[in-house]
Amino acid sequence: MFRAIVALLFIVLILPSAALVASLIMNALGVSGVLGFIVGFPVFVAILTASVVILAAINDHINNTERYGKNHNRTHTNGVH
């Protein structure tokens, strides 16, 4: 369920907000055209990369808590004996 909500959140909120921030930075610097692309595109990609890394960290934390949180008292593994 987390993945579905995050996918919707990513499409609806994160992509437009990353584009908005990149546009605001381009407007603040007063650049447009190719120079605007050179400035705005790395900002856009950096915001998307940071959001994906944060979402992946949250997902890993949720998965590890579900899998290992109940068995934290164990002192051995169930490997090959």
| Domain layout of the chain by residue ranges | 2-66
Token readout for 35 is: 């120079």
CA atoms of 18 and 10, how far apart (whole Å): 10
pLDDT value, residue 37? 94
Residue of 6 and 28 predicted with greater confidence: 28
Instruction: Say which residues have a Cβ less than 8 Å from residue 51's Cβ, sequence separation at least 6.
Output: 10, 14, 18
pLDDT digits over 11-36, tens only?
A: 888 899 999 999 999 999 999 999 99
Residue type, 52: V
What's the pLDDT tens digit per position in 71-80?
A: 555 555 666 6
